[in-house]
Amino acid sequence: MDRFRILLAGVLVCLVVFLVFAFLRAVRGPRMADRILGINMLGSLSTAAIAVLAVLLDQSWLLDVCLIYCMISFLAVVVLAKVSIASHKEGEEEDV
């Protein structure tokens, strides 16, 4: 059982490192699509980290938080994509 906890802690550390890289992609861009992809990756990795933390701490209520956070993250990415598409179409209409 102790090896399992060490494995979960290692997975959690890896997820945090990946979260930092996803945050850098979301901030630096260079295109809006890269930023949206970075934000989506932040949500996915955060969800995975919360799920691993729930197993590590043996707290089942964290899985409920994980599911709610996943739904909110999905909706945020959909809204950002919609806004991005709308602003891109406006830019094309002004060029014509």
Record the tokens describing residue 66, joined without a space.
């994980």
Check: CB of residue 25 under 8 Å from CB of residue 37: yes
Check pLDDT > 70 for residue 73. yes
pTM (two decimals): 0.84
How high is the mean pLDDT of the chain? 91
Check pLDDT > 70 for residue 55. yes
